[in-house]
Amino acid sequence: MAKTKTAQSVLTEMREFAGFSPCEQRYIRRSLDVGLARHDAFRRWARGPAEAASIRTQYVMYQDLKLLRGLLKNEVDGGESAGLEDLEAVMGPLLRVTTFDLAQGRIESFSAYRFLYERLIGAEVRPWLPGAFCGAAALPHIRPDRRKELLQSISEAAATAPAWSMTAPRFFPEYVEMEEAA
SS3 sequence, 98-150?
A: HHHHHHCCCCCCHHHHHHHHHHHCCHHHHHHHHHHHHHHHCCCCCCHHHHHHH
Q: The whole model's pTM is what?
A: 0.90
DSSP state at residue 165 = -
Helix-strand-coil percent breakdown of the chain, rounded to 5? 70, 0, 30
- Each residue's pLDDT tens digit, 83-131: 666 788 999 999 999 999 999 999 999 999 999 999 999 999 999 999 9
Percent of the chain clearing pLDDT 70 (strictly above): 90
H or E segment and range at residue 59: helix 49-61
Query: Can you give the residue ranges of every domain in the chain?
Result: 63-165
